[in-house]
Chain A
Amino acid sequence: MMQAPETGGTITLTVNGAPRELAPHSTVAALLGSLGIDPRLVVVEHNRTILRDRDAYDSLGLGSGDVVEIVHFVGGG
């Protein structure tokens, strides 16, 4: 996986397809918090691994170059 350069004390991740800067050692919970997202209403995939246990959000640290997908249910047929 491509490692994004660390600049200004932040790490750069790809979140839902777009680059996003975070403080180093941020957790998934911190990322969701910074986005104003209720963890109970979404599913998170981290580097292609689905985080099935929401309790892990508090412990799982994110690194530079990580790819995170945050999905939810929307209307569909």
Chain B
Amino acid sequence: MGIAVESSLDVAPLIIGGREFRSRLMVGTGKYASNGDMMHAIEASGAEVVTVAVRRVDLNRGSEEGILHHLDPDQFFLLANTAGCYTADEAVRYARLARAAGFNEWVKLEVIGDAETLLPDSAGLLEATKTLASEGFKVMAYTNDDLITALRLEEAGAVAVMPLASPIGSGLGMLNPYAIRTIKQRLQVPVIVDAGVGTASDACIVMEQGVDGILMNTGIAAATDPVRMATAMRLAVDAGRLAYLAGRMPRREIAIPSSPMSGMLGA
């Protein structure tokens, strides 16, 4: 009997901030063509953690546009983000609003430093992480693939650090595997790669670095067939995790035959 490709093979569960999560793939809920597409894709991804954004209710349309009309908060773990915030104060305000919704005290913290690249503002992230951690928030901090910032965020009380593979929505895949590996090796808290994964091979390679999980949105939502891509991402995350745990063969610059050298026919 073959080995089932299931994350249940992964003997160590993903634990962040004292809570156990059943999937190492976390997904966003933005940019879908329809709420139906979104729900089917999320189900196909197998994700437990789904991110949401905090925004004003459109008073001309009422609260029917809210995502809780489609997403059952009993079935998924809602992780509110502070996307669109450019200062620590702004991000803290959004995080507090999200917590007041009453689901949990977790936040995917974003403090953006530049509108064109959406790269994070490290100083703002550190300030907001300290404030929110002191208020009892479980902060998962979206950050650059910079080891020192990642270490400082851990010291500041983040329960997970989320370095980017490449810029948000770019689909460029992992630009700096060395940086991601180094962050994973040096941090005690879980490392969840967030942003930049464009297709299943990207997800697989990210997981092969040994990180604890991946959060993605556009890679699934902007695929021609989001449900198929969500399935591919689920399998790729499992495959990458298994490959990491299996331990890859050493790289060599020369060929070594797989078949015996002996027993060849005489000329």
Interface residues of B in 7-58 (CB under 8 A from A): 28-32, 38, 51-57
**Given A16-B59, A42-B57, A77-B168, A72:B68 Cβ within 8 A:** yes
How far, in whole Å, are A51 and B80 apart by their CA atoms in the complex?
18
State whether the Cβ of A71 lies closer than 8 Å to any Cβ in chain B. yes
Instruction: Give, as a whole number of angstroms, the nearest-CB distance from A46 to chain B.
Output: 12
The number of A-B residue pairs with CB atoms under 8 Å apart is 103
Q: Is the CB of B56 within 8 A of A37?
A: no
**A70 touching B30 by the CB < 8 A rule?**
no
Among the stretches B95-103, B126-134, B176-184, the one at the interface with A is B95-103
Q: Flag whether B78 is at the interface (Cβ < 8 A).
A: yes
By size class, the interface of chain B is 35 or more
In angstroms, Cα B169 to Cα A18, docked, is 31
Chain B contacts of A15 at CB under 8 A? 59
Give the interface centre of A35, A42, A43, A71 by most chain B CB atoms within 10 Å: A71
**CB-CB < 8 A to A42: which residues of B?**
57, 63, 66
A74 and B94 CA atoms in complex are apart in Å by 13
CB distance from B114 to the nearest CB of A (A): 17
Contact A51 B100, beta carbon cutoff 8 Å: yes
The answer on a CB contact under 8 Å between B63 and A74 is no
Interface residue B6 (Cβ < 8 Å from any Cβ of A): no
Instruction: Check if A71 sits within 8 Å of B54, measured CB to CB.
Output: yes
Sort chain A's interface into a size bin.
Answer: 20 to 34
Specify the chain B residue showing the minimal Cβ separation from A32: B63
Q: Are A37 and B63 in contact (CB under 8 A)?
A: yes
List the B residue with the shortest CB-CB distance to A35: B59
B218 within 8 A of A: yes
Nearest CB in chain B: distance from A20 CB, A: 8
The residue on A at minimum CB distance from B62 is A36
Partner of B97 from A35, A50, A74 at Cβ < 8 Å: A50
Contact A73:B66 (CB < 8 A) given known A15-B59, A17-B56, A42-B57: yes
1/0 per residue, CB under 8 A from A, across B150-170: the answer is: 000000000000000000110
Q: Is A75 interfacial (CB 8 A cutoff)?
A: yes
- Could you name 13 residue pairs across A and B whose Cβ atoms are closer than 8 Å? A38-B63, A41-B63, A41-B68, A71-B54, A71-B55, A72-B68, A73-B78, A73-B80, A73-B98, A74-B54, A74-B65, A76-B30, A76-B55
Extra inter-chain contacts (16) besides given A37-B62, A72-B66, A75-B31, CB under 8 Å: A36-B63, A38-B63, A41-B63, A43-B98, A50-B97, A69-B97, A71-B55, A72-B55, A72-B57, A72-B67, A73-B53, A75-B38, A75-B53, A76-B83, A77-B28, A77-B81
| Chain A residues engaging chain B, CB cutoff 8 angstroms | 15-18, 35-38, 41-43, 45, 50-52, 69-77
